[in-house]
Amino acid sequence: MTKRPIIIDTDPGIDDAVAIAIALFSEDLDIKCISTVSGNVGLDKTTFNALRLLKFFGKENIPVAAGASQPLLRPIVDASEIHGKTGMEGFDFEDPDMSLLRKESSIELMKQILLDSNEPVTLMPIGPLTNIALLLLTYPEVKPKIKEIVMMGGSTGRGNCGVMSEFNFHADPEAARIVFKSGLKLTMAPLDVGVRALISKEVSEEIRMMNKTGNMFYELFSRYRGSSFETGLRMYDSYAIAYILEPSIFETVNAFVDIETKGEYTSGCSVIDLKGYLKQESNATVLLDADPEKFEQWFLKSVKKCC
């Protein structure tokens, strides 16, 4: 079976590290590049972290390019209180070979990969959507070469960063709105999935002993402030890769989604019209629920491959 080509746009980030690892070791995926964005921590750190992860996994052949260092219009926000000041607190990674960082911006690299590809490519953004918006605005000719965008972002309810806004959309609401108005096939994994697809304390203990990747994850989890071993960990970005690799874990709905960009208190809110009140055609598939057991089995099976 041919491998599915995919580009990961990311702001590592502890949960990003999990999603990246699972993607790298999937026999079903051809990772074309990793594009970094300012998000959980600044661009210099997310880029450094992406390179450190590839070195840890022995996958330094995967191209890495840095994208936007700040949101389209808004001031920079970060989530260092959740992921630590380095963005991947808790594990002592070796320093990467910075010469491996591509000289061109990730928007240029993604454009070239898409135009050169002989089949449409899946984009998996798991950070703020600044790079994806810039790609679509700068090079609209790439749109026919994008199979779909499967993102982590948004919430059908309350936020985890703003009262009504999830971090990735809160950080760059204008970028998120551009993506949701693009007409491309979109799937979003919102915060809501996190309540169901938890990584239990038992699973964390099991992966700790499983292999070097599981041990590294455990050390990162111990510093993650987005949830805890006791409550069960919400590795939000892993839901995006889980949907790509094992969609049967999830219950989905097609809905009209737009992003609030003008609200004094609500900018970044993902307005997900589950009842059709706005009388708009649906423009996204929304992951609404997950089977906890299926997710746990998939997660354990996936981490076992990461070695």
Give me the phi and psi of 7, to 5 degrees please.
-115, 130
Closest CB to ligand RIB: residue number: 167
CB contact at 8 A, 131 and 67? yes
Q: Which is nearer to Ca ion, 78 or 237 (by Cβ)? A: 237
Enclosing H/E stretch for 252: strand 250-259
By C-beta, is 8 or 272 nearer to Ca ion?
Answer: 8
132 in contact with ligand RIB (CB under 6 A): no
Query: Which CB sits closer to Ca ion, 89 or 237?
Result: 237
The mark string for 78-107 relative to ligand RIB (x by CB under 6 A, - otherwise) is -x----------------------------
**Binds 167: which of Ca ion, ligand RIB, none (CB < 5-8 Å by kind):** ligand RIB
Edge-to-edge strand list for the sheet holding 284-290 = 64-66, 29-36, 4-10, 121-125, 146-152, 186-189, 284-290, 250-259, 270-273
Which residues partner with 77 through β-bridges?
A: none
Check binding of 70 to ligand RIB (CB under 6 A).
Answer: no
Least Cα distance to 285 among 245, 236, 244, 233 occurs for 244
What separation in angstroms does the CA of 167 have from each of 39, 171, 258?
Answer: 8, 6, 16
Residues 217-256 that bind Ca ion (CB under 5 A): 237
Distance between CA atoms of residues 289 and 294, nearest Å: 12
Q: Name the minimum Å distance from CB 264 to Ca ion.
A: 26
Among 5, 63, 84, 127, binds Ca ion (CB under 5 A): 127
Residue 11 is a binding residue for ligand RIB (CB under 6 A):
yes
78 near Ca ion, judged by CB under 5 A: no
Q: Does 13 bind Ca ion (CB under 5 A)?
A: yes
* Nearest-approach distance from CB 236 to ligand RIB, in angstroms: 4
Residue partners of 73: CB distance under 8 A and separation at least 6: 174
Residues 218-245 as b/e (b if ≥16 CB within 10 A, e otherwise) read bebbeebebbebeebbbbbbbbbbbbbb
Under the rule (CB under 5 A), what is the footprint of Ca ion?
A: 11, 13, 16, 126-127, 237
- Residues of this chain that interact with ligand RIB (CB under 6 A) are 11, 13, 15-16, 39-40, 79, 126-127, 152, 160, 166-168, 236-237
